Structure 1
C-alpha cells in the first residue's frame, strides 16, 4: 500500500508523537501511543480505497466503530518475548488496514462457540529474520498472515460453493513447504474467516451471482453483477469467485481432438505439497478406510483430541475442514505453536505412528521434493 500520503498537518502531529515514543524508549520509560490513526484525516483516506468494509473478512461495517488495524503491531508481538513491537510504524499509513471488531480484537463464533483471538498483536512470520528496529529491513520478513494490501496475497484465498473461505488452487511457496504451514489456512484460522454467521450469507451471495451469470450479458443483469463484485461491495471476492465459476460453466465445450493428435499429458504435481498437506500420502492408505474417514488422535495438556482424515486429504476438526495438519492441530488445541505432523497420530495395521513418521516412510527427507 505504498504511495498513500497522509495530510501534512496530520503527518507533523504524528511525527511529534513518534519522537516522544522514541525518547521514552531511550529513557527506558513508558511509551504513550496517541491514537492519531483514528482521526478522520487518515481513516477517511483509507475508507476511500474500498469503502466501509473490513479489509480482512470483507464484511461491511454497519453501525459499529471502524477500526484502523496496524498490520505490524505497534507495541508488542504476541509469542515473541522481548519484542518492542513495530513502534516506528505506529504512524506509518502504509501499515494501516481497515478492520472490523471481530478481525481486529475477537468476537467471531463458530456454531455459537467463541472462536480465535483475532489478529490483535499477532504477527507470526513464515520465514525471514524479524525486524526489531527501524534500521532492519522489513522486506526480509515473510509474514504468515495474508495481507489484503499486498499484491498477490488476496489471490491465495479462495471460496467453495458453500461459502467457506479456502486456500485457492495455487502452488505452495518454498517458505510454506519449509515450515509445513499454509498461509491461507492460518489466516482463516486466526481471523475466523469462516464464522458461522458469515458462511451462509456468503454462500447465498455466491448463489445469487451464479444465477445472474446464467442469464447472459444483458445490460441490466450485468449491472446487478457489477454491483456485487465491485471492490466496495460486501464479500466481493467470493462474488467474483462465483462469477468466474459460472462463466467457466457457460463456455461452450470444444469438440474433442482426434485421438491420433491428442498429446499425452503428464499430471503436474506440486513439488512442495507433501511437505505441507496430506494429498500425496493418500495412495498409501486403504481406500475403504479413507471413504469412511480415518481417525487421527493427538494429546495436548492431558487432553486427547480427534480429527478425521477425509478421502480428499482434508482433516475434519469439529466440523470444519482444513488442508494442513498443523492448522488442524492448532484449531483443535488452541495452541499457536504446535506442529501438526508430530501431533497427529494414526494407526495402520495395528501400528501407531505420527503423521511425520508416516510421511518419512514414504517420502524420506533425502528424496522429498
Structure 2
C-alpha cells in the first residue's frame, strides 16, 4: 500500500494467514462481463486506530475496515438476502463505524467483490435448492442432501445455512397477535451517521417506491444511482446499504464521502444527502 512497506514481519506468522479465493483477492468484480472493481489485492484499510508500521508497533491498536472471518464477531456482521446478494446483517453499528460514517460489511462486500454478477446467481440458485429440499427434510435421503449443502466444507455453505434457517423460521406456527400496541419506530442518531434508514420517513413514499434518482459528479463524470424504499441505494443494479459505499462503488474511489457526493432534488430544490440529513437531524452537522 502507498507509504507502507507491508507487514513483512508477519510473513511467517501462521495466525496472520487467511484463505482467499482468486476472485476476492485479485479477480475483481464484474457486471455483465464488464470489470468494475479491483478486488482486495494489497489493501488493508483501517476504520480507526493506529497503523502498525514496524515490528515493534502494537497490531491491536489497528481497527481493520474489512471483516475478518477468523475474528470471533465479524462473521455475524454479514448476511445474505433471498436474491443471493451479500448484505449487512441487522446488527448495531460499532462506535468506529458511526464515527467514520462507514459500514464494515458494505465496504467488505464492495472491496472483495462479493456481489459480482457471477456470484449472485450461484447463491440464489443454492437458496432455491435448499428451500425446496428443506420442505421434504423428513426423508432421510433428502436430509442428507441438505446436510451436505450446509456443511462447513461445502461451497457457499453460509448461504445454505441462511436459507435453511429462513425456511425453518417461516415454517414455524404464527405467533399469537400482540395484546399491546406496537411501539412507534424510534430513530437512532448513531445509525443516521451511516445509513438512510431513519431519513426515509421524511421522503415521499410514492417517490421512494418508484425510486428517487441520486446524482454525483467525480472527475468530470456524472454518476447516477437510485434510492429505493428499503433504504438501499442501487448502483450497477446492485443494492448498497450506505451512501458512502454506493458512491465508492460508482466511482471506484476509496476516498469519497457519499453524504457529500450524492445529490437529490425535493420540491425543485437540489441538495446533498448531508444537507438533507442535517435538516432533520441537526445534531449531525454536514461533513
Scaled by the length of structure 1, the TM-score of the pair is 0.74
Rg larger for: 1
**How far, CA to CA, are the matches of 1:288 and 1:171 in structure 2?**
28
Counterpart among 14, 23, 31 of residue 102 in structure 1: 23
2:119 is the alignment partner of 1:198: yes
Q: 1:276 aligns with which of 194, 200, 210?
A: 194
Contact kept in structure 2, 1:124 and 1:143, CA below 8 Å: yes
- Tell me the secondary structure at the aligned position of residue 102 of structure 1: helix
Aligned to 1:131: 52
Q: Is 1:360 equivalent to 2:287 in the alignment?
A: no
Q: Does 1:341 align with 2:259?
A: yes
Distance in 1 (alpha carbons) for counterparts of 2:185 and 2:48: 30
CA apart distance, 1:366: 6.2
The number of residues matched between the two structures is 286
CA offsets 1:262-316 (integer angstroms, 9 cap, x no match): 4754546555211101111111112222122111111111111111111111111
Unaligned runs of 5+ in 2: none
Q: Distance in 2 between matches of 1:327 and 1:235?
A: 24
- Within the candidate set 239, 252, 263, 2:160 is matched to 239
Tell me if structure 2 keeps the 8 A contact 1:171–1:270. Answer: no
> 3-state DSSP class of the match of 2:87?
strand
Task: Give the 3-state SS of the residue equivalent to 2:50 in structure 1.
Answer: coil
Deviation at 1:144, TM superposition (A): 0.7
2:129 to 197, 208, 213: 208
Please report the RMSD computed on the Cα atoms of aligned residues, expressed in angstroms.
Answer: 1.8
2:77 match: 156
Q: Which residue of 2 aligns with 1:179?
A: 100
Is the contact between residue 329 and residue 339 of structure 1 (CA under 8 Å) also seen in structure 2?
Answer: yes
Q: What do residues 151-183 of structure 1 show as CA deviations (whole Å, max 9, x unaligned)? A: 111111111111111111111111111111111
Which structure is richer in relative contact order (CA contacts within 8 A, separation 6 or more)? 2
What's the CA shift string for 1:242-261, capped at 9, x where partnerless?
0000000111223336x4xx
- Aligned pair in 2 of structure 1 residues 205, 323: CA closer, same or farther (>3 Å)? same
CA deviation after TM superposition for structure 1 residue 103, in Å = 1.4
- Offset of 1:140 from its aligned partner? 1.7
**Aligned partners of 1:115 and 1:192 also within 8 Å:** no
Q: Distance in 1 between matches of 2:92 and 2:156?
A: 24
Determine which of 273, 291, 310 is the counterpart of 2:228: 310
Are 2:61 and 1:143 equivalent residues in the alignment?
Answer: no
String of CA shifts for 1:110-142, please: whole Å, max 9, x gaps. 211113111111011111111111222211211
SS of alignment partner, residue 107 of structure 2: helix
Provide the rounded CA distance (Å) in 1 between the counterparts of 2:182 and 2:270. Answer: 41
Q: SS of the residue aligned with 1:256?
A: coil
**Which segment drifts farther, 248-257 or 205-214?**
248-257
- 2:268 is the alignment partner of 1:350: yes
TM-score, with structure 2 as normaliser: 0.94
- Aligned residue among 125, 144, 164 for 1:223: 144
